[in-house]
Amino acid sequence: MRAWLAQDPDEETRAELGAMLDAAGAGSAGASPATDPQQALAALRTRFDGRLTFGTAGLRGEIAAGPTRMNRVVVAQAAAGLGAYLQARAAAGSTPSVVVGYDGRKNSAVFARDSAELLAGAGLAVTLLPRELPTPLVAFAVRHLDASAGIMVTASHNPPNDNGYKVYLGGADEGAQIVAPADAEIEAQIVRVATTTPVNELARSADYETAAESLIDAYVTQTAAVGWLPPAEIGAQPRVVYTAMHGVGWQTFSRVLGAAGFIEPDLVTAQIEPDARFPTVAFPNPEEPGALDLAYETARSVGAHLIIANDPDADRLAIAIPDTTRPEGYRRLTGNQVGMLLGWRAAEAATTPGAARLGDTARTTARPTLACSVVSSPALAAVAAAYGLGFRETLTGFKWVSRVPGLIFGYEEALGYLVNPGTVRDKDGISAAIAFLSLASDLAVDGYTIADQLDRFSERFGHFDSTQVSLRVTDLGRIRALMAALRSSPPAAIGGIAVASVDDLAAGSAGPTGLPPSNILRIRTVDGDRVMVRPSGTEPKLKVYIDVSSTKGSLAKRKKAVAGRLAALEAGMRELVS
């Protein structure tokens, strides 16, 4: 611990750790919690018993002192380890290159500059983005600059005091997030650095480049092409309210809007500029209750037809539409609803002669394919079948969705959408927003709304609806116990609806497009509905995904049947995992 303290270049975390060490070595029983030795020792153990593991989501955690937290020491070790990994895999005589970006969170700029200096000091060619920018800019830059890798410093929509470190790979990976075995190989190099070299002895250099504005210009131009507005539709644009959720999305999104021909939306001004404190939201995630309250208030005041929200690093998109049955006057669409509408749009474009294809231009020999994560709605499969397109399910996470051959559109229910995989091979809340706004404008020309389009979807492909049950725990053992109980004694019925089958995906799934092993249970009912149960990969939660559909009878009958079964399955699963 003293060695850690000696190498920490950050005054805040160094002071924090020093105070904890002092408290652990002095004081007496009955002292205040801030100075009680036993409490200080317990706190130190949580900081030093292990370390943040570099996995397929990179690093993410609370900013604080110690190897199990996010801080300048951990980031320096990660940068040095990544640099060593890239050098080991580089062709003889070549110099690996890395793009480094960052958002507006606490310490993001500091972590990014540390990474740039350390990678440059190790002899790599480094390009640092010129300012705080959305995550999709890094995924774009890796491909645009033909870089070996990209680093994005962000914790996405985590709580305010968190930060993270996401890695993309170039070359054959085409700017996608890392997957196994790269994660384990990078982790091994990080551990080697951590156990052999204090970070204050690692070489640093200011010999790195700052990206030119032309890089951002290229992203804006290519993203605007996703939803360029024909002059005939300029007058049919819906009135839009936009919030950046205290993140970095607005500056880039506003430029894309202008390039695509859209008028500027009404802004949630209190949330439009980056603010690492996230002062107006309890949790900076548009999925969370209350996160869109200011957007609803603004929309009511201007009579908006559409609300567009990005999460703080702008790789996710939330949409809300008018709904007079709700007190807020608006309802947020689920990720599945947005995904199935954008998937329908992509399928129509892919099968319309002469339409521009914004999909997988790098893999032209592959069959045009729609893809979503295994816990997302089966609605996308119905679209693919209707249009004669390929369809793939993947494990959760865009590191899997983005790698599907022939991809023209992919999504996951957690508000992530990939509408232009020929440009960005990751979820992108800005390009998805442009695509959705283009859809809304196209519909308005013909006198339709997004609510109308949802009904048209239900009439053509079947009515699909979904919900989730989340169980947050303090003891991860409880999640393991619940999964074990469901495996050993699977339910014969849920909410009074008989179960037809239970598939354990821990062994993988069969077929030519089968999934790798994953800790997921898939339950199907006699009505053809589906329940997925899995532990969260980023939070101490057990997550249950329920999907119900109907193709029988009128639209009203389909909606009624689905609503009844969805409510029954939700109540039954809450009882099972409570």
Q: What is the pTM of this model?
A: 0.93
437, 461, 485 - which closes a domain: 461
pLDDT given at position 42? 87
Question: Which helix or strand (DSSP H or E) is residue 307 part of?
Answer: strand 306-310
Asked whether 347 and 380 are in contact (CB, 8 A), the reply is no
Element (H, E) at 18: helix 11-25
Domain boundary among 461, 479, 496: 461
d(CA 253, CA 206): 31
Contact criterion met (CB below 8 Å) for 59 and 70: yes
Rama region for 156: left / alpha / beta (φ>0; ψ in -120 to 50; rest): left
Tokens coding 279:
């002062």
Q: What's the CATH number where 370 sits?
A: 3.40.120.10
523: CATH: 3.30.310.50
Coarse DSSP helix, strand, coil percentages of the chain, rounded to the nearest 5 percent? 40, 20, 40
Q: Are residues 341 and 266 in the same domain?
A: yes
Q: Are residues 260 and 319 in the same domain?
A: yes
Q: Does residue 470 sit in the same domain as residue 432? A: no
pLDDT tens digits for the chain (578 residues)?
889 999 999 999 999 998 888 888 843 333 344 567 888 888 899 999 999 988 777 899 999 999 999 999 999 999 999 999 999 999 988 999 999 999 999 999 999 999 999 999 999 999 999 999 999 999 999 999 999 999 999 999 889 999 999 999 999 999 999 998 999 999 999 999 999 999 999 999 999 999 999 999 999 999 999 998 777 667 778 999 999 999 999 999 999 999 999 999 999 999 999 999 999 998 899 999 999 999 999 999 999 999 999 999 999 999 999 999 999 999 999 999 999 999 999 999 999 876 554 544 444 567 999 999 999 999 999 999 999 999 999 998 899 999 999 999 999 999 999 999 999 999 999 999 999 999 999 999 999 999 999 999 999 999 999 999 999 888 889 999 999 999 999 999 999 999 999 999 987 665 545 778 889 999 999 999 999 999 987 678 899 999 999 999 999 999 999 999 999 999 999 999 98
Residue 217 lies in a domain: no
Domain identity same for 11 and 118: no
- Helix H or strand E segment including 563: helix 555-577
What pLDDT is recorded for position 510?
55
Establish if 218 belongs to a structural domain.
no
3-state class (DSSP) for residue 95? coil
Does one domain contain both 507 and 452? no
216 domain-assigned: no
Last residue of a domain, one of 413, 442, 461: 461
Domain range for 2 is: 1-49
Contact in structure between 238 and 265 (CB atoms under 8 Å): no
| Residues annotated as catalytic (active site), given as ranges | 156
Task: Please report which residue ranges of 462-510 form alpha helices under DSSP H.
Answer: 476-488
Provide the number of structural domains found in the chain.
Answer: 4
Distance CA 136, CA 134 (A): 6
Residues 447 and 568 both lie in one domain: no
Residues 467 and 456 occupy one common structural domain: no
The whole-number pLDDT of residue 512 equals: 47
Rounded to the nearest 5°, which phi and psi values hold at 121?
-65, -25
Residues 449 and 474 in one domain: no
Whether 290 and 377 map to the same domain: the answer is yes
Examine the domain organization and report whether 133 and 191 are in the same domain: yes
Q: Is the same domain home to 61 and 117? A: yes
- Does residue 478 sit in the same domain as residue 555? yes
Classify residue 483: in a domain, yes or no. yes
